[in-house]
């Protein structure tokens, strides 16, 4: 196991900056997830840690050792790829043993490592099969087994579940988390799926345009997004945003956006906000509550809105609604069929309101 440290890490392709001087500490034994949209630099960062991409500037340390120019094989890392990267002509057992034989690991040690990985991943029934005879989930377990047998200091995962169907993704996500907790190996995991990021991570790192937009424990990033981008990227469905203006006097303020007027909870924001200020208000779907379908403050604002679309998800229903030209998404915790055009009352939980600066899109919440 080892701590991984990135300091002012930069990657340049020609005249293009793919990674723009990021700083990141990955504690020993932790599970850190890099998440963000395509092209944000997360996979490039992972590949620099793995030694598959050169570092243009900055420092990479693994277990305290400067690793910028170390060959991949000497970094103590093992990588699991999106495409599995298995040898199609070899059996599962031979795939697991391949890198160990190349490294001239003694046979007894190879057998011990393979047996340990096979037991952890329940691969015993498939040892003599070739990759083409395996399902996607089984192949992914073999790819993980190849990483485990190397007994690395650091596991690296590059979108390992993106080729699997939804059910298998959920199963493998649980398996990966349990495996990492059992082995205690420092892990860096890349995904574009924020649900994977939220459920797997000890520390979530949200990236945008080659930079870190925010990092921290998943719940902290969800509850206290530092800017509009993070607020919109983390959480399903995306947070509702309303362009508005603050009105009122002193500390008695409300954000007004079209037909909406939402009281601003004083304790949630610092004293710098003032009447006349343009802001972006944010509310998650679970904080816009259809009447009779959830808890909300006794003084919550109520608005009537016409449902334009409903999505029944089994345990809940998402309602897309319009209030005199102001659109939002609400979550109905007790699902029922709602027809398009039906008018409902919605209660707005202003105690969960987010405000962002209109120009910089930075959070205006106290302590940010």
- Locate all alpha helices (DSSP H) within the chain, ordered by sequence: 42-50, 92-102, 107-121, 136-149, 166-183, 194-200, 218-223, 228-233
Half-sphere exposure in the Cβ direction for 240 (13 Å, CA)? 27
C-alpha–C-alpha distance, residues 66 and 70, integer Å: 8
Mean pLDDT of the chain: 91
pLDDT score for 45: 98
Q: Is 49 exposed, middle or buried (0-12, 13-18, 19+ CB in 10 A)?
A: buried
Looking at residues 4-24, what average pLDDT do you find? Answer: 96
- The predicted-structure confidence for 117-154, as pLDDT tens digits, reads as follows 998 888 999 999 999 999 888 898 899 899 999 989 99
Inter-residue long-range contacts of 289-292, CB under 8 Å, 24+ positions, other chains counted: 289/330, 289/331, 289/346, 289/347, 289/348, 289/349, 290/319, 290/330, 290/332, 290/344, 290/345, 290/346, 290/347, 291/344, 291/345, 291/346, 291/347
217-247 burial string, b = 16+ CB within 10 Å, else e? ebeebbebbbbbbbbbbbbeeebbbbebebe
pLDDT category of residue 66 using cuts at 50, 70 and 90: very high
pLDDT for residue 193 is more than 80: yes
pLDDT for residue 367 is more than 80: no
pLDDT score for 161: 86
First to last CA, the chain: 33
Query: What is the residue extent of each domain of the chain?
Result: 4-233, 240-357
Inter-residue long-range contacts of 93-100, CB under 8 Å, 24+ positions, other chains counted: 93/127, 93/128, 95/131, 95/142, 95/145, 95/146, 96/142, 96/145, 96/146, 96/149, 97/149, 98/146, 99/146, 99/149, 99/150, 100/149, 100/150
Fold of 4-233: Rossmann fold (3.40.50)
pLDDT for residue 11 is more than 90: yes
* Equal fold, 4-233 vs 240-357: no
Residue (of 203, 205, 178, 162) closest to 41 by Cα position: 205
Q: What angle do CA 128, 130, 133 make, to 5 degrees?
A: 105
- The predicted-structure confidence for 315-352, as pLDDT tens digits, reads as follows 888 999 999 989 999 998 877 778 899 999 999 999 99
pLDDT for residue 59 is more than 90: yes
C-alpha–C-alpha distance, residues 286 and 307, integer Å: 16
C-alpha–C-alpha distance, residues 220 and 201, integer Å: 12
Please give the backbone phi and psi of residue 8, each rounded to the nearest 5 degrees, phi first: 50, 45
Residue (of 42, 19, 6, 27) closest to 187 by Cα position: 27
pLDDT for residue 214 is more than 70: yes
Helix (H) or strand (E) holding 24, with range, is strand 16-26
- The predicted-structure confidence for 102-119, as pLDDT tens digits, reads as follows 889 999 999 999 999 998
pLDDT score for 234: 95
- Locate all alpha helices (DSSP H) within 201-328, ordered by sequence: 218-223, 228-233
pLDDT for residue 157 is more than 90: yes
Please give the backbone phi and psi of residue 350, each rounded to the nearest 5 degrees, phi first: -70, -15
pLDDT for residue 37 is more than 90: yes
The number of helix segments (H) and strand segments (E) in the chain equals: 8, 20
The dihedral through the CA atoms of 46, 141, 206, 18 has a sign that is positive
CATH of 240-357 among 3.40.50.720, 1.10.579.10, 2.40.50.140, 1.10.357.10: 2.40.50.140
On the question of a cis peptide bond just before residue 237, with omega within 30 degrees of 0, the verdict is: yes
Residues 6+ apart with CB under 8 A from 362: 226, 227, 356, 368
Residue (of 255, 287, 260, 258) closest to 273 by Cα position: 255
- The predicted-structure confidence for 255-312, as pLDDT tens digits, reads as follows 999 889 999 988 888 777 999 999 999 999 999 988 876 666 666 788 999 999 999 8
pLDDT score for 313: 86
């Amino acid at each position: 196991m080892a701590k991984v440290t990135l300091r002012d890490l930069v990657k340049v392709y020609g005249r293009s900056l793919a990674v723009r001087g990021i700083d990141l500490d990955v504690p020993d034994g932790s599970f850190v997830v890099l998440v963000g949209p395509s092209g944000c630099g997360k996979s490039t960062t992972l590949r620099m840690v793995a030694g598959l991409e050169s570092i243009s500037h900055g420092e990479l340390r693994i277990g305290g050792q400067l690793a910028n120019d170390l060959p991949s094989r000497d970094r103590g890392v093992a990588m699991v790829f999106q495409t599995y990267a298995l040898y199609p002509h070899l059996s599962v057992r031979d795939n697991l043993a391949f890198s160990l034989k190349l490294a001239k690991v003694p046979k007894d040690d190879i057998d011990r490592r393979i047996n340990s990985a096979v037991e952890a991943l329940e691969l015993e029934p498939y040892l003599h099969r070739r990759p083409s005879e395996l399902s996607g989930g089984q192949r992914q377990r073999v790819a993980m087994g190849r990483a485990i047998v190397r007994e690395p200091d650091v596991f690296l995962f590059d979108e390992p579940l993106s080729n699997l169907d939804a059910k298998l993704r959920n199963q493998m996500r649980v398996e990966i988390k349990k495996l990492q907790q059992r082995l205690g190996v420092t892990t860096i995991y890349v995904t574009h799926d924020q649900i994977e990021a939220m459920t797997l991570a000890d520390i979530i790192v949200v990236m945008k345009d080659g930079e870190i937009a925010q990092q921290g424990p998943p719940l902290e990033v969800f509850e206290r997004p530092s800017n509009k981008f993070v607020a919109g990227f983390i959480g399903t469905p995306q947070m509702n945003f309303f362009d508005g203006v603050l009105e009122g006097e002193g500390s008695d303020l409300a954000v007004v956006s079209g037909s909406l007027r939402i009281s601003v909870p004083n304790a949630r924001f610092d004293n710098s906000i003032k009447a006349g200020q343009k802001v972006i208000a944010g509310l998650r779907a679970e904080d816009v509550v259809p009447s009779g379908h959830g808890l909300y403050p006794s003084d919550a604002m109520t608005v009537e809105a016409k449902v334009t679309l409903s999505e029944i998800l089994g345990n809940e229903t998402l309602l897309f609604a319009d209030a005199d030209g102001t659109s939002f998404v609400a979550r109905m915790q007790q699902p029922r069929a709602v027809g398009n055009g039906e008018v409902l009352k919605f209660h707005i939980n202003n105690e969960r309101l987010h405000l962002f600066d209109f120009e910089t899109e930075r959070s205006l919440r106290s302590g940010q």
